[in-house]
Structure 1
């Protein structure tokens, strides 16, 4: 299923919020490209500096199309994807992916807080969309509240999420239209290039490329933590 430009309602189509430095917080390498790549590219095109932080090594993936262990190859893939996205900084935390759910959110957020301070971040971007795995959103929100930094979450409208589930089998439920704050028209070429940098995950990327085909040239975001200046 391929979406055309007029498939989804465009009443909220508009510009991104102003930000000097955006930090994408994801659970594992690959998410920065397949979920947030087009949005990061839109921020960069708008003049923002972008950076990426993955809070695990991504070693629990069921896919490995390389000849190396995932713990050895995924950091290099993450660096390559960050370069494709033209990120000013990238950081891969050394937590095993399987342990994320057992670790306190406050402990995981410490790395985010440190990066926000070191890189002068004024906006956090993460993946929500009511995915089954929301650890990155919880960590980003904890850090955002701690530092009074707004947090934007990637999401989908309910009808788009339903189309994605039917086309790909991904566990995503999306958000009601009234909860969505931004609908964007995006370019996909940089995102797709960054996704292909994760060569060990090639077999799994087919599902994500199918999701992008459903979404077409649209992305949706909502405030997860909206500070006063974000509301303004």
Structure 2
């Protein structure tokens, strides 16, 4: 887990008002402290339509370029985004017409436990629970900055 950064105290919805270079610096500091081999971010669309998600992902992509790290973007398959938008009148953003690179099997026990500790997310009829139901036991990241783009030092160095 990445260490908590100063941006963690930014009010919900306020991340896009934080200067971009500050956000990039926060990501660089956190990635360095964690000895990160790559970053996992929201798809640049923001997935949920939340401006903080899009701002955080943009900063992480800039930081990854500076650090020469690969980046995976968490996204939803179009079928899931469409279904949620129809059922809940939400603003889930479909990823661009690209292939999802990875279908990652997941175990949701820790995620379910975390959601249960947040009253606003513990409601069984919430969009969160429906999203998890539609996704089943899989997540669908796509490469935003692939491992072939990010290269480390050569083995001869």
Map 1:148-227 onto structure 2 (within 5 A).
Answer: 148-175=68-95, 178-199=98-119, 201-202=121-122, 206-227=126-147
Tell me the residue number matched to 1:116.
31
Q: Taking structure 1 as the reference length, what is the TM-score of the superposition? A: 0.54
Cα drift, residue 202 of structure 1 = 4.1
Structure 1: gaps of 5 or more residues: 1-50, 53-89
Shift of 1:113: 0.4
In structure 2, relative to structure 1, the CA distance for the partners of 1:98 and 1:178 (3 Å cut) is closer
Q: Counterparts of 2:27 and 2:98 in 1: how far apart (Å)?
A: 29
* Whole-angstrom distance in 2 between the partners of 1:204 and 1:110: 38
Q: Is the 8 A contact 1:125 1:154 kept in 2?
A: yes
1:220 shift after superposition: 0.4
Would the aligned equivalents of 2:71 and 2:143 in 1 still touch at CA under 8 Å? yes
Q: Specify which of 6, 12, 27 is matched with residue 97 of structure 1.
A: 12
Q: Distance in 2 between matches of 1:105 and 1:119?
A: 21
Structure with larger RCO (C-alpha < 8 A, sep 6+): 1
Preserved contact between residue 129 and residue 155 of structure 1 (Cα < 8 Å):
no
Deviations 1:22-55 (A, max 9, x none): xxxxxxxxxxxxxxxxxxxxxxxxxxxxx14xxx
For the residues of structure 2 that align with 1:228 and 1:154, how far apart are their CA atoms? 19
The answer for unaligned runs of 5 or more in structure 2 is: 152-157
Could you say which residue in structure 2 is the equivalent of 1:143? 63
In structure 2, C-alpha distance between the alignment counterparts of 1:211 and 1:201, rounded to whole Å: 12
Deviations 1:137-191 (A, max 9, x none): 1121111111111111111222221112223333113225633111122222221
| 99 and 141 in structure 1: CA distance in 2 versus 1, 3 angstrom threshold | same
Aligned length: 144
Secondary structure, counterpart of 1:115 in structure 2: helix
- Structure having the larger proportion of residues in strand: 1
Secondary structure at the aligned position of 1:122 is classed as coil
TM-score by length of 2: 0.77
CA RMSD of aligned residues (A): 2.6
Contact 1:157–1:177 (8 Å) recurs in 2: no
